[in-house]
Structure 1
Amino acid sequence: MSIVRLLARPMLASSFILSGLDRLRHADQTAKQLSPVLSTAVAALPFATDEKMLARVIGGTQLGAGVMLAAGKFSRLSALLLTLTSTLNAVVEYRTADSSTSEGRTQRRHQLLKNVSLAGGMLLAAVDTAGKPGLAWRAGHLAEAGKKNTRKQLKHADKAVRRVANEVTGS
């Protein structure tokens, strides 16, 4: 792992870890803040749950994914989960922010830009392969190797069939 990744991942994950801890500690407040989104999610889920439980799940997801990203374990999946939670947070904060005064609108815009920037950083982390080939490249490379192997086997089989056919007709 490069020194940049070694430093950048924990730096990027730190705000999500603290936010996840805060959301877990204050699940009632989180449920109240995220209520516009959580109420829709509760209605859509096939199993019985409440907004407070979903707030805890979001907090736990942020905490767990943040720790995993900081540790460099499952960093792409962790970054994707953090992108989803930060996007959810950005939408809710933007919708509930004060926009009645010019200061409120300025603060709302700054908060939105901060959240969009964090989501962008998480998206970059989600596609970072750390110098290793990605799954798409591996799948394409494996498919190409399979095609070559199949062609080679068909060629050998064709030669064997022709040899046997020549032996049978030539005898």
Structure 2
Amino acid sequence: MSAVRFIARPLLGSSFVIAGASKLKNADDTAEQLSPVLRRAADALPVQVDEKLLARAVGATQLGAGVLFALGKVPRLSASVLALTSALNTFVEWRSADISTPTGRDARRSGLLKNLSLLGGVLLASVDTNGHPSLAWRAQNIASDAAKAGRRQLAGAEKGIAEAQKGTSKALRKASRKAQRSVRSVAKDARSAASDVFA
């Protein structure tokens, strides 16, 4: 792990760890804030789930993913989970912010920018390959190598066919010359025999 990643991951993850711990500690407030989203999620689930329990689950997920990301354990997966929770936080905070005063509107805008910045950071982290080629690059490279190998094999096969054709034509010309010599030899022997008979 590079020094930048070693420093940046805990810095980025700390915000999510603190937010997740706060959500767990204040599950009632979290459930109230998340209520519109959680109601829809609870309705979509096949079993009845308490909103407070879902709020705790969101907080625990954010806390766990933040800790894993800060420690550099499964960083891409934990960053992807953090991106989902960050998108949820952005929506909920934007929707529940007080906009009745200019100060409230400024706070709403600042909160939105902060949340979008965090979302951008974890989205970048979710595609960070830690200096290793990505799976897409590896697959593309393998496909390119296979195509090159196929072209080489095809060129070799075409060369072999051309040589076989060349060798076949040489063999045919050689057999033709041999047959012509044989025919001339037989004709010569026949003339010689005929001249002996008629002499």
Superposition deviation, residue 86 in structure 1: 0.9
Structure 2 matches for 1:14-163, cutoff 5 A? 14-45=14-45, 47-50=46-49, 51-150=51-150
Find the aligned partners of 1:124 and 1:155 in 2 and give their Cα distance: 43
1:109-143 superposed Cα distances (whole Å, 9 cap, x missing partner): 11111111111111121122221111110111122
Superposition deviation, residue 151 in structure 1: 5.1
- Paired residues in the alignment total 170
Find the aligned partners of 1:70 and 1:105 in 2 and give their Cα distance: 32
Superposition deviation, residue 108 in structure 1: 1.0
TM-score where L is the length of structure 2: 0.73
Amino acid at match of 1:48: V
Find the aligned partners of 1:32 and 1:77 in 2 and give their Cα distance: 28
Find the aligned partners of 1:49 and 1:2 in 2 and give their Cα distance: 46
Bigger Rg, structure 1 or 2: 2
Unaligned regions of 5+ residues in structure 2, if any?
163-170, 172-199
Find the aligned partners of 1:108 and 1:70 in 2 and give their Cα distance: 27
Find the aligned partners of 2:119 and 2:146 in 1 and give their Cα distance: 38
Report the 3-state secondary structure (helix = DSSP H, G, I; strand = E; otherwise coil) of the residue aligned with 1:12: helix
1:7-34 superposed Cα distances (whole Å, 9 cap, x missing partner): 0100100011111122223322211110
Aligned Cα root-mean-square deviation (Å): 2.5
1:76-135 superposed Cα distances (whole Å, 9 cap, x missing partner): 121111111111111111111111111111111111111111111111211222211111
Superposition deviation, residue 42 in structure 1: 1.3
Amino acid at match of 1:108: R
Q: Kindly indicate whether structure 1 or structure 2 has the higher relative contact order, using CA contacts under 8 Å at least 6 residues apart.
A: 1
Find the aligned partners of 2:157 and 2:56 in 1 and give their Cα distance: 61
Superposition deviation, residue 156 in structure 1: 7.3
Q: What residue in structure 1 maps to residue 4 of structure 2?
A: 4
Find the aligned partners of 1:49 and 1:72 in 2 and give their Cα distance: 36
Unaligned regions of 5+ residues in structure 1, if any?
163-169
CA 1:153–1:64: 2 relative to 1, 3 Å: farther
Identity %: 56
